[in-house]
């Protein structure tokens, strides 16, 4: 099934153009679809007609729509074909309900890679935020022939005791701000959200049992594509030793720090982020 929708940002753009009676002469429609991948139905959004295909990978419990509105709207549609997907159990890719077996990041990586294959893209770049960045690191390491470039931000390749303390401090969603909690409750309902978030905290905490708390540390040297690691200097969730470790272990990586950026730097500073990423991808 394929339906068309306007993201909130696009609707705003369209209304603004209408109000000023300017003709919108470029296609900004975002096409939403669903494909059968690895035994589940995965939902995705797609926009643009460019030669360079991108897969956008959302964070924990995130979806293409909630996590990448400004990218679906703002990335250059003539140069890029942008796909954002809802990992299984997240967003509209339900059922199944989400679970967190020890290989959940690998499973998301395989799902993302296969989705792009099903959509007809054999070589593409990956943009991954937070958990989606972890997924992107794994996908790039395991499938180098398919990946042109990789961008990750707010991501970590291992978990430390400091991370575990941070995870546990955000486990109880009733203590989240209304602004953070409410969109998730709208998407999932309060109960699914509360339970799944807590299951995520348990899921990511499993990695402490690995040597060095590794999620994918040992795979980083296998990432051969040019990689841009973006870090928000003011990110309260991801200590700066994480981007440093990525830089150290990925052979062809560079780091860009956004001084005012927090965890959601691509939403808060969307224009700056989009420009940075486009410049890197077009080099
Ligand atoms: N990894 C989470 C995501 O994908 C964000 C997060 C990071 C949450 C650190 C808690 O302590 C945390 N959005």
201 Cα to the center of ligand 1, angstroms: 9
- Closest ligand 1 atom number to CA of residue 59: 4
- Which pLDDT tens digit goes with each residue over 162-221? 999 999 999 999 999 998 899 999 999 999 999 999 999 999 999 999 999 999 999 999
11 pLDDT tier (thresholds 50, 70, 90): very low
pLDDT of the residue at 23: 40
Marked catalytic residue, from 67, 131, 235, 266: 235
232 Cα to the center of ligand 1, angstroms: 13
CA distance 68 to 64: 5
Residue 4 clears pLDDT 60, i.e. is over it: no
pLDDT of the residue at 2: 38
pLDDT of the residue at 48: 98
User: Is 155 a known active-site residue?
Assistant: no
User: What is the pTM for the complete model shown?
Assistant: 0.91
User: Is 202 a known active-site residue?
Assistant: no
- Which pLDDT tens digit goes with each residue over 201-210? 999 999 999 9
Q: 73 with 54: CB under 8 angstroms?
A: no
Pocket test for ligand 1, best of 60, 129, 181, 215 (most atoms within 8 A of CB): 60
User: Tokens 């890679």 label which residue?
Assistant: 113
- What's the average model confidence in pLDDT over 16-21? 37
156 Cα to the center of ligand 1, angstroms: 9
- What's the average model confidence in pLDDT over 25-44? 88
User: Is any atom of ligand 1 closer than 6 Å to the C-beta of 152?
Assistant: no
User: Is any atom of ligand 1 closer than 6 Å to the C-beta of 59?
Assistant: yes
Higher pLDDT: 12 or 120? It is 120
User: Is 231 a known active-site residue?
Assistant: no
pLDDT of the residue at 40: 98
pLDDT of the residue at 15: 36
- Which pLDDT tens digit goes with each residue over 123-172? 999 999 999 999 999 999 999 999 999 999 999 999 999 999 999 999 99
- Closest ligand 1 atom number to CA of residue 133: 4
Mean pLDDT of the chain: 92
28 pLDDT tier (thresholds 50, 70, 90): low
Whether omega for the bond prior to residue 115 falls within 30 degrees of 0, making it cis, is: no
Pocket test for ligand 1, best of 56, 58, 59, 198 (most atoms within 8 A of CB): 59
- What's the average model confidence in pLDDT over 92-103? 98
């Amino acid at each position: 099934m394929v339906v068309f929708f306007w993201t909130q940002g696009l609707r705003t753009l369209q209304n603004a153009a209408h109000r000023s009676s300017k003709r919108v002469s470029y296609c900004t429609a975002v096409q939403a679809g669903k494909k059968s991948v690895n035994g589940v139905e995965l939902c995705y959004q797609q926009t643009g007609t460019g030669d360079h295909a991108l897969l956008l990978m959302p964070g924990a419990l995130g979806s293409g729509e909630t996590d990448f509105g400004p990218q679906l709207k703002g990335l250059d549609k003539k140069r890029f074909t942008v796909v954002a997907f809802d990992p299984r159990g997240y967003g509209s890719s339900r059922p199944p309900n989400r679970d967190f077996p020890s290989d959940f990041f690998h499973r998301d990586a395989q799902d993302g890679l296969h989705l792009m294959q099903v959509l007809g893209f054999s070589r593409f770049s990956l943009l991954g935020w937070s958990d989606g960045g972890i997924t992107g690191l794994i996908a790039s390491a395991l499938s180098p022939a398919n990946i042109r470039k990789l961008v990750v931000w707010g991501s970590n390749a291992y978990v430390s005791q400091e991370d575990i303390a941070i995870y546990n401090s955000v486990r109880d969603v009733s203590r989240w701000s209304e602004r953070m909690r409410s969109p998730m409750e709208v998407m999932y309902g309060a109960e699914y959200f509360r339970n799944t978030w807590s299951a995520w905290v348990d899921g990511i905490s499993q990695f402490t049992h690995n040597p060095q708390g590794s999620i994918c540390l040992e795979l980083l040297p296998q990432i051969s594509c040019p990689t841009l690691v973006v870090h928000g200097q003011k990110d309260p969730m991801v200590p700066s030793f994480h981007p440093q470790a990525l830089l150290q272990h990925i052979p062809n990586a560079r780091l860009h720090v956004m001084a005012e950026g927090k965890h959601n730097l691509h939403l808060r500073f969307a224009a700056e982020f989009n420009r940075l990423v486009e410049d890197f991808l077009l080099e």
